[in-house]
Amino acid sequence: MAAVCAAPFVFGTAAYLFDWTPAARGNYGELIAPRPLSGAPLDALRGKWLLITFDTAACSAYCERKLYLMRQVRAAQGKDAGRVDRIWALTDTGRPRAELLRAIDGTHVVPLGEAPALRGFPADAVDRIYVVDPLGNLMMSFPRDPDPSKMLKDLQRLLRLSQIG
């Protein structure tokens, strides 16, 4: 009986001493040490979860796929879709095609020159989709060619556990 009661303490101490961490994680996206962002256009969207992507106005097939995934993941939130917004930061001075803008209706298209809050992102920002929390903190990114079902699961978990936004 004593061994059964002592086992959790012994195994817990051993795990601590040998710095054991579980191999599996609960999230698909890469967690980023929260970094506060402020300025246009984020200040106007404060209080919402944001999906942000960067690309040129010409928008290659890969760019269109990112925008499509962002739209679908947001729509799949159901009643919580209003808690999520999308931003496409244009990395050049071009103008996106009208049919593309119609297809991504509801996405905020912002030239990077007019978005001081979005200028400090990493050089590989074009290859990723970022998540900003309702308080304006950059906190997660998804890899190139993300799995939409895993993105959906991560965002659903964030929305379910969040008391804000």
Backbone angles phi, psi at 5, to 5 degrees: -75, -30
pLDDT at 102: 94
Examine the pLDDT at 103 and tell me if it is beyond 80.
yes
The domain made up of 26-161 is a member of CATH 3.40.30.10:
yes
Please state the domain extents for the chain.
Answer: 26-161
pTM (2 decimals)? 0.83
**Average pLDDT of the chain to the nearest whole number:** 90
Please tell me which residue, 17 or 22, carries the higher pLDDT value. 17
Examine the pLDDT at 128 and tell me if it is beyond 80.
yes
Q: Is the peptide bond before 96 cis (omega within 30 degrees of 0)?
A: no
- For residue 24, what pLDDT band results from cuts at 50, 70 and 90? low
- For residue 21, what pLDDT band results from cuts at 50, 70 and 90? low
